[in-house]
Chain A
Amino acid sequence: MAEPLLDVRGLTTHYVSARGTRVTRAVQEVSFSLRDGETLGVVGESGSGKSTLALSLLRLLPPAARIVAGSVRFEGEDLVAKPESEMRHIRGKRMAMILQDPMASLNPLFTIGDQVAEPLRVHEGTSRRGAWERARELLGAVRISAPNMRVRNYPHELSGGMRQRIVGAIAISCGPRLLIADEPTTSLDVTIQAQYLSLLRELQRAQRLALIFITHNLGIVARMCDAVAVMYAGRVVEAGPVRQIFDAPRHPYTRALIESIPRLGEANGRLTAIDGQPPDPAALPEGCAFHPRCPVRLEKCATERPRDTAVGAGHRTACWLHG
């Protein structure tokens, strides 16, 4: 089998406070791989490390954060070892990102045309005229009506859904192989979210893009993803093909998450709630980080950390019940 497009091994990212006294273990020994055209959902709550993971892949971490171990092999090269000057040729060209808030991703002082054309001018050296021409095509590709007029608009003249489509157009402008979307639809209305998700699907099929969805929403995973990695307190606690995860979740946290979501058209019984709250990533519990909230914990869960165990084809979990 050919080498995967992206292969992450033991990735560990820590935040260190200014005096070096407080270490927050945001991402711990995360491993996964992704092939061309595949979609992976990274699911977790706030503080689970999913956004830090995304930033680590692109090496866009804030100054206080550091990748302390692990490797990120993308198209056969380890990105962790790359000098910043080479990363600049990868970011925006081979690998692109879509963030939650489109207003924060777009510059209010430049026209849409300038912003969609910018990566083409930077990465491919396209002429201004050529890049604008391509920008019009890209706006058409993300279903913006009247692209000839819209290229001259500023971000504030567009609706939230349109802005997020512009961000999508910028992301795919240089034909990347991998697109990382961090909560891309959280700020959108339900019907606009549906529009956007089906647009991402189309773009993905047309360009054989690999997609990583960072989300807290299992519904998005169910609709969009082939595989899932569930994160809790910086670690992947369960990962596998999407159907196996939904049909037979093996980690108690994954099971609880799936059961805690109200479903349309089901009897209005009680929801299965998870007691307590996610731990502070700067003060993680000993052993398995989920043990204080776990309904089926064993004695050793409080002291020993469970190792990754295979529980099916491509399906693994870190839980003593299966260790």
Chain B
Amino acid sequence: MTPLLEARGLVKHFPVRRGLFGGPDKAVRAVDDVSFVIEPGATLGLVGESGCGKTTTAKLVLLLERPTAGEIRFDGESLATLDAERLRRYRHSVQAVFQDPYASLNPRMRVGAIIAEPLVTNEKQLSSAEVGERLRKVLDLVGLPARAAELFPHEFSGGQRQRIAIARALTLSPRLIVLDEPVSALDVSIRAQILNLLKDLQRELGLAYLFIAHDLAAVAHMSHVIAVMYLGRVVETGAARTVATQPRHPYTKALFAAALPSHPDESRDEVVLPGDVPSPLDPPSGCRFHTRCPQVMPHCSTTEPKLACVDGRDVACYLYDPAGVSKAG
């Protein structure tokens, strides 16, 4: 089966202007050689700390940024080769829901107009009755009453606003939805409602998700596949359960060990990483994690390890790749 979306060697560098006295040109290497696959109807979870490049990756998928190198293939076709009409169709097929439902909905528009807007601008041949029909259908899908269409966003709570944002993403019948921190702005008791809704929609409509969140338990709960990013690179990727319960890369281990327990008796080996994430403007040489790694070896700082299959998932770490060391050494 062809994957729905495939990223191959994606690179995005943001050039930084030189200072007053010149100096060499620099670039923020936000995403550096990232590859992944999203299967139809499945969820890829992107995990990592701020500055790891997960939001830039989402923007590349949404065509809000152009990659510096590498390509994205959708339904087996490279986006770079698509003509205007097919790019338009790609944009219909890939929608987004963002973190803050207070910022992402226009306060001056009625909810019905907000949700129908993608249809009105993109499917001009539709009659208003057809638009209304579709509007009622998506409102029903996200569990909002039909009269919600007459109201303004401020008349809704945070959880309901996020339902409105999801409804808007559904109007064009997309096949992939990019979810960038969709529940972090919501109250704890509301998060489960939205996560359940997203799962139900995935099952009913066969949607694929690119799920980005810093809440590791939520990502593990929602995703089929997880990719862990650190400073623009994927350091470990594999089936969600495998990566979450038996992480291999020292960074993944530290990340999941740092995740908060769900019970006081749940004792994890606490791996407290020293220091901060280095600047993506000037990432460390070799393995980018070596400055904070508890198991660092001499050659980690010279050559970068490649992703290789270990225990059913891909890891980029010399601990599991003795052959890579000898080649690098």
Q: Which residues of A contact B (CB under 8 A)?
A: 45-46, 159, 161-162, 189-195, 198, 216-220, 222-223, 225, 242-243, 246, 256-258, 260-266, 268, 270-275, 277-278, 293
Contact = CB atoms under 8 A, between A and B. Distances in A.
B188 A261 contact: yes
B302 interface: no
Contacts of B196: 270-271, 273
Given A216-B187, A257-B188, A271-B221, A262 B193 contact: no
A263 B217 contact: yes
Contacts of B264: 222-223, 225, 242-243, 246
B191 interface: yes
Interface residues of B, number: 47
Contacts of B193: 273-275
Given A246-B263, A262-B217, A262-B218, A191 B273 contact: yes
Contacts of A194: 254, 257-258, 270, 272-273
B260 A262 contact: no
Given A191-B273, A262-B218, A223 B192 contact: no
B258 A222 contact: no
Contact of B199 (A219, A265, A270): A270
A189 to B, nearest CB: 4
A264 B216 contact: yes
Given A161-B276, A222-B262, A223-B261, A191 B254 contact: yes
Most chain A CB within a 10 A radius of its CB, from B216, B217, B263: B263
A243 B261 CA distance: 13
- Which of A161, A219, A256 is the most central at the interface, judged by chain B CB atoms within 10 Å of its CB? A219
B109 interface: no
B258 A191 contact: yes
Contacts of A216: 187-188
B244 A195 contact: no
B258 A45 contact: no
A16 B265 CA distance: 43
The 9 closest A-B CB pairs, nearest first, are A219-B260, A262-B221, A194-B258, A260-B192, A189-B49, A271-B192, A273-B192, A274-B189, A45-B187
Contacts of B319: none
Contacts of B218: 262
A188 to B, nearest CB: 9
A46 B158 CA distance: 11
A251 to B, nearest CB: 13
Contacts of B50: 189
B260 to A, nearest CB: 2
Contact of B216 (A190, A223, A268, A273): A190
A272 B196 CA distance: 9
Contact of B261 (A222, A258, A270): A222
20 contacts: A190-B259, A191-B254, A191-B255, A193-B258, A194-B272, A194-B273, A218-B188, A220-B260, A243-B265, A246-B264, A261-B262, A262-B220, A264-B216, A266-B221, A271-B196, A272-B192, A273-B189, A274-B192, A277-B158, A278-B189
Contacts of B221: 262-263, 266, 268, 271
